[in-house]
Structure 1
Amino acid sequence: MQTVLLVEDDLKLAKIMRAFLQENDFRVEIEGHGDRAVDRILGIQPDAVVLDINLPGSNGFTICRQVRPYYQGAILILTARNEELDEVLGLEVGADDFLSKPVRPMALVTRLKLHLRRYGNNAQGTQEVLEVGDLVIHLESRLLELHGKPIKLTNAEFDILVVLARNKNKLTSREELFNRVHTSESYDFGDRSIDMHVLRLRRKIETDPKNPLRLQSVYGDGYMLSEYL
Structure 2
Amino acid sequence: MANAARVEHAAVPCLTLAPPIEVLLVDDQRAILAGVAALIESEEPAMQVAARATCVRQALDLACSIQPDVIVLDVNLGGDDGLALIPPLLSFCTARIIVFTCLTDPEVRTRALSLGACEFVSKAVAGSALIAAIRKAMPPAG
**Which bracket does the TM-score occupy, shorter chain normalised?**
0.7 to 0.9
Match in the other structure for 1:27: 48
Q: Which of residues 14, 22, 33 is equivalent to 2:33?
A: 14
Change (3 A) 1:56 1:35: farther
* 1:83-122 CA-partner distances (Å, limit 9, x unpaired): 1110111122111010112352111111111111x2xxx4
Structure with the larger RCO, 1 or 2 (CA within 8 Å, 6+ apart): 2
CA-based RMSD of the aligned residues comes to 1.5
- C-alpha distance in structure 2 between counterparts of 1:83 and 1:16, whole Å: 24
Is the CA contact 2:63–2:92 (under 8 Å) kept in the aligned structure 1? no
Contact 2:69 2:96 in 1 (8 A): yes
| 4+ residue segments displaced more than 3 Å | none
Give, in whole Å, the separation in 1 of the partners of 2:141 and 2:81: 32
Secondary structure at 1:24's aligned position in 2?
A: coil
Give the whole-Å Cα distance in 2 for the aligned partners of 1:104 and 1:42. Answer: 30
Q: Which amino acid aligns with 1:93?
A: L
Provide structure 2 residue ranges, at least 5 long, that are not aligned to the other structure.
Answer: 1-19
The alignment status of 1:123 with 2:141, answered yes or no, reads yes
Instruction: State which structure, 1 or 2, has the greater radius of gyration over its C-alpha atoms.
Output: 2
Query: Number of paired residues?
Result: 120
Structure-2 change in CA distance of 1:6 and 1:62 (3 Å): same
Which of 48, 61, 64 in structure 2 is aligned with 1:39?
61
Q: Deviations over 1:165-188 (max 9, x none)?
A: xxxxxxxxxxxxxxxxxxxxxxxx
My pick for the range that moved more, 64-73 or 41-50, is 64-73
Write the distance in 1 (CA, Å) between the matches of 2:56 and 2:78. Answer: 6
Identity of aligned residues (%): 27
Q: 1:90 aligns with which of 84, 104, 112?
A: 112
Find the counterpart in structure 2 of residue 3 from structure 1: 22
